[in-house]
Structure 1
Amino acid sequence: MSTASAPEVVVVTGLSGAGKSTTLKTFEDLGYEAVDNVPLFLLRRMIGGAAGPEGARRPLAIGVDIRTRDFDVAAIRRFVRDVEKAGMARPRVVFLDCDDDVLQRRYTETRRRHPLAADRPLADGIALERQLLAPLKDGADDVIDTSDLPPGALKTMLLTRYGLASTGLHVFVTSFSFRRGLPREADLVFDVRFLRNPHYDTALRDLTGRDAAVQDYVAADPDFPEFLGRLTALLDPLLPRYVTEGKSYLTIAVGCTGGRHRSVFVAERLGAWLAEAGYGTSVRHRELQSPGS
């Protein structure tokens, strides 16, 4: 049996509290049959029974984590390998990661108990789970860090990566502040701190790169037109090569000092250029989603 006619199968796993429930719900919205914490010995039977009436096949999103009965990292890796070898499907493993401090805050806010912290401090339970799942993360097809990823952004990312009708390359453009560190999901990073900084103009300081006054200010920098032209000239031949290699998504990060002015404007301009070039494009401004610059 050829995997070309097999159902799409996604195994969603990762650290407890990293967003598995939201991820599975999104897959369900995308048309997948989403099931959670299925015992491993039932997974193969579930994939084999994915065919519906008249041979129609339903895509599956299967959630497994440390709470799953008979959970074992080696068994999951063996399951993925055996299913693909048998030609039943080509399962893709999506691993959800997250910073320890963010996980601790989420558990504290929701007052939920970590599955490995029943008789130990929360931090120790998280550390133990991270250690146990390390081999699974290393072998995953897709690692998504949700530390700074709002639910809406996570849903958009999953839609473009795993939407059943999605084709071609989808490019995410995100602006950010170097003060808060690089976006973890970035494939390409560009630094625009050399451009004139509107922060030092009191009339512009409280505005953002989405405002016309800031856009005009940055665009008036004598080096901006050449920079943007060279940036798009770099990407123009590069993006088709990603398509040729089979990449379905790419994240381009544009950073400045505060992440509210220059990087926002450049990200908006870059997103417009990408859309005009025919690529599916999403633009996100990380620092505009939280107070401060």
Structure 2
Amino acid sequence: MQLILISGLSGAGKSVALHMLEDLGYYCVDNLPTGFLARIILLYQKYNYQRIAISVDTRSAPMLSQLPAAMSSLRKHGFDVRLLFLDAQDATLIRRYSETRRRHPLSQQGLTIPECIAKERDMLGDLHSLGHRIDTSALSANQLRSWVRQFADADTAPLTVLFQSFGFKHGVPLDADFVFDVRCLPNPYYDPTLRPLTGQDEPVAAFLAQQATVEQMYQDIHQFVHRWLPQFNHDNRSYLTISIGCTGGQHRSVYLAERLSRAFPNEQVLLRHRQLPPAQE
């Protein structure tokens, strides 16, 4: 049985993720108290459900502290348990609540929206370190659905390495474990013929491949990841996110993320481009 747990900040996209998993054939449960997790999994196992998705968040706050132990216990019994933690920048969450005019789950305590967000972050603590964290600040609903599908389809592995490109002008991703700034490299943006293209297009790739500094940057990042990857494997970590950033997230960072994603054939690797639309991923 595969169990995907969805948690994270209110307004970060948990409903979108849960609906996507439902469309993929998962039996979905929203807002299940952690104390009932093992019980409901055994019940679903009895009726031969193979794919379950459960949302766990601060609405069941008193039991959240039980989640790490519950996940560990289920894994020891042979279940494929994954945690997807959705996050977003405070300004993004405030804007979303303002646009939708929805109440924050903690607002009944007389708190303002910023105060609710701060308290919720504190309540969730380091839960994101138990699984895969996605910063949805700059994502469209379609992008998030695409990334949730990718997460669900990934094979079970001790460690998954995620290479993602992004643009600094859109903000540094909250989910990055390492950030490499490649804005110092020659920029195809200044060539009118290359400007509308991306780092996935052959003319841009050919231009960047001819630059000695681009090759040196690639080699430096590759050597760093290659050298330290075994240590992260030994650290019992599930995901390692390597973020490559250029100015707009269209050319240099995309090119390097693409190359790096192909450079570790013996690892489970995911590739994402934060600033490209889903059709180009």
Q: How does 1:1-293 map to 2 (within 5 A)?
A: 10-28=4-22, 32-38=26-32, 42-43=36-37, 45-53=39-47, 58=50, 60-66=52-58, 68=59, 71=60, 73-78=61-66, 81=69, 94-117=84-107, 124-132=112-120, 134-140=122-128, 141-142=130-131, 143-155=133-145, 157-159=147-149, 161=151, 163=153, 165-167=155-157, 169-274=159-264, 277-289=265-277
Write the letter of the residue equivalent to 1:77. S
Q: Flag the 1:168–1:160 CA change in 2: closer, same or farther, 3 A.
A: farther
Give how far 1:31 is off: 5.8
The answer to whether the 8 A contact 2:135-2:173 is kept is no
**CA distance in 2 between partners of 1:64 and 1:160 (Å):** 20
Give how far 1:215 is off: 2.3
Q: Flag the 1:245–1:34 CA change in 2: closer, same or farther, 3 A.
A: same
**CA distance in 2 between partners of 1:273 and 1:230 (Å):** 13
Considering only CA atoms, is the larger Rg found in Structure 1 or Structure 2? Answer: 1
TM-score between both structures, scaled by the size of structure 2:
0.75
Structure 2 unaligned runs (5+)? none
- 1:81-109 Cα distance to aligned partner (Å, 9 max, x none): 47867987997665432223322333344
The answer to whether the 8 A contact 1:17-1:107 is kept is yes
**CA distance in 1 between partners of 2:221 and 2:70 (Å):** 44
Q: Secondary structure at the match of 2:275?
A: helix
Q: Flag the 1:84–1:244 CA change in 2: closer, same or farther, 3 A.
A: closer
Structure 1 unaligned runs (5+)? 1-6
Write the letter of the residue equivalent to 1:52. K
Write the letter of the residue equivalent to 2:124. L
Give how far 1:131 is off: 0.7
- 1:243-285 Cα distance to aligned partner (Å, 9 max, x none): 34443432221122332222222222222333xx243433332
Write the letter of the residue equivalent to 2:54. I
TM-score between both structures, scaled by the size of structure 1:
0.72
The answer to whether the 8 A contact 1:47-1:88 is kept is no
**CA distance in 1 between partners of 2:152 and 2:216 (Å):** 36
The corresponding residue for 1:3 is none
Give how far 1:35 is off: 0.7
**CA distance in 1 between partners of 2:251 and 2:197 (Å):** 8
Q: Flag the 1:145–1:256 CA change in 2: closer, same or farther, 3 A.
A: closer
Q: Flag the 1:151–1:169 CA change in 2: closer, same or farther, 3 A.
A: farther
Write the letter of the residue equivalent to 2:246. C
Deviates more, 1:139-148 or 1:37-46: 37-46
Write the letter of the residue equivalent to 1:23. A
Identity of paired residues, percent? Answer: 37
- 1:40-80 Cα distance to aligned partner (Å, 9 max, x none): 66555424423315xx57554332445x4xx3x23331465
The answer to whether the 8 A contact 1:34-1:62 is kept is yes
Deviates more, 1:124-133 or 1:184-193: 124-133
Q: Flag the 1:240–1:57 CA change in 2: closer, same or farther, 3 A.
A: farther
**CA distance in 1 between partners of 2:239 and 2:108 (Å):** 39
**CA distance in 1 between partners of 2:150 and 2:235 (Å):** 17
Q: Secondary structure at the match of 1:147?
A: coil
The answer to whether the 8 A contact 1:117-1:125 is kept is yes
The answer to whether the 8 A contact 1:171-1:280 is kept is yes
